[in-house]
């Protein structure tokens, strides 16, 4: 069974800390980033997260893939703000007979929003890459996230890899039979693939439910049992949040 890239065993100090504290840090710092007035604090958080990621020896390719979509979103927002928001004209261009004007205040606002987006994504990326999934779910359970949601997320995490492997087997079989040689055949093959995966997902859910009920499953998951906090980690968390609060206020 395949798993998502995991770096919690890299020996980095962040990887060995309690997941509940890391969730608390992420939520607090994320709130500071979203409520910051300038761009200095989000930029600082982004640099810190990149440094932590490098310290955990996360491959550059993984970081690029994680940031590709939010960077694209930030660029789109920047362009929309630049050309459709603001009053102080920065430049004006004639494109195919259409006058296009860029605004200075729109550019600044777009840069601030994009900066917050990248900073927020970097926080979530560090949290996800440094925390095992089961410990993350245990932390959410400790924070009283609805039990049904945690249960669904754990089962989804377990069976998404099963469906992925099934999808790859079907795709390779279709590809070997020239199922994607033309656009029409490709669309038809993709529809068959999606339908097969839907049926298999339904069958897996039914079989899993029957198997767990027969084994006396009552909704309690031993993997979500909580450990006691370490005093050193609590002190370090308090100092970290105090320092971030001071930087946020500056």
More confident of the two residues 18 and 45: 45
User: pLDDT-based confidence at 226, cuts 50/70/90?
Assistant: low
**Residue 150's pLDDT is what?**
83
Whether 210 is in a domain gets the answer yes
Asked if residue 231 is part of any domain, the answer here is: no
pLDDT of residue 220: 66
Q: Quick one: pLDDT at residue 179?
A: 86
Q: Are residues 128 and 181 in the same domain?
A: no
Average pLDDT value for the chain:
84
Alpha carbon separation from 247 to 58, 230, 236 (Å, rounded): 27, 26, 17
My answer on whether 110 and 16 are in the same domain is: yes
Both 23 and 133 in one domain: the answer is yes
- The tokens for 120 are 């927020």
Contact 92, 102 (CB under 8 A): yes
Domain range for 100 = 1-145
| Residue 123: count of CB within 10 angstroms of its CB | 22
Using H for helix, E for strand and C for coil, what is the string for 98-165?
Answer: EEEEEEHHHHHHHHHHHHHHHHHHHHHHHHHHHCCHHHHHHHHHHCCCCHHHHHHHHHHHHHHHHHHH
Q: Which pTM value belongs to this model?
A: 0.76
Are residues 126 and 5 located together in one domain of the fold?
Answer: yes
Same domain, 18 and 94: yes
Residue 4 pLDDT: 47
Tell me, yes or no, whether 153 and 64 share the same domain.
Answer: no
Q: Does 131 share its domain with 210?
A: no
The share of the chain scoring above pLDDT 90, in percent, equals: 22
Same domain, 184 and 140: no
Whether residues 117 and 156 share a domain: the answer is: no
Please count the structural domains in the chain.
2
Indicate the residue among 114, 145, 176 that finishes a domain. 145
Q: Which of 2, 10, 4 is nearest to 130 (CA)?
A: 10
Half-sphere exposure (Cβ direction) of 151: Cα atoms closer than 13 Å: 12
Last residue of a domain, one of 126, 145, 164: 145
Note whether residue 34 is domain-resident. Answer: yes
pLDDT surpasses 90 at 117 = yes
H or E element at residue 82: helix 60-84
Split at pLDDT 50, 70, 90, the class of 225 is low
Say if 230 falls within a structural domain: no
Closest CA to 90 of 72, 111, 63: 111
Shared domain check, 27 and 62: yes
- 54 plus 169 within the same structural domain: no
- pLDDT score of 30: 93
How do residues 141-161 score in pLDDT, each as one tens digit? 888 888 888 888 888 888 888
Q: What is the pLDDT of residue 1?
A: 37
Given the structure tokens 């998404």, which residue do they identify? Answer: 160
Same domain, residue pair 124 and 209:
no
The pLDDT of residue 89 is 84
Q: How far apart are CA 111 and CA 74, in angstroms?
A: 8
Quick one: average pLDDT of 229-249? 87
């Amino acid at each position: 069974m395949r798993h998502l890239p995991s770096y919690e065993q890299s020996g980095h100090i962040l990887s060995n800390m309690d997941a509940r504290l890391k969730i608390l840090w992420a939520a607090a710092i994320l709130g500071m980033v979203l409520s910051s007035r300038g761009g200095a604090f989000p930029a600082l958080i982004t640099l810190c997260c990149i440094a932590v990621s490098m310290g955990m020896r996360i491959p550059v390719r993984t970081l690029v893939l994680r940031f590709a979509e939010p960077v694209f979103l930030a660029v789109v927002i920047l362009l929309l703000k630049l050309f459709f928001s603001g009053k102080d004209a920065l430049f004006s261009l004639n494109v195919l007979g259409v006058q296009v004007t860029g605004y200075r205040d729109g550019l600044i606002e777009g840069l601030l929003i994009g900066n917050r987006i990248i900073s927020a994504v970097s926080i979530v990326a560090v949290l996800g890459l440094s925390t095992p999934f089961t410990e993350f779910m245990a932390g959410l359970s400790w924070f009283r996230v609805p039990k049904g949601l945690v249960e669904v997320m754990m089962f989804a995490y377990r069976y998404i890899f099963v469906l992925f492997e099934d999808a790859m087997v079907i795709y390779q079989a279709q590809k070997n039979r020239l199922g994607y040689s033309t656009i029409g055949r490709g669309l038809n093959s993709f529809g068959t693939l999606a339908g097969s995966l839907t049926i298999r997902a339904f069958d897996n859910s039914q079989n899993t439910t029957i198997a767990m009920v027969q084994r006396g499953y009552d909704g309690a998951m031993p993997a979500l049992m909580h450990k006691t906090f370490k005093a050193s980690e609590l002190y370090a968390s308090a100092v970290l949040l105090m320092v971030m609060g001071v930087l946020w206020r500056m």
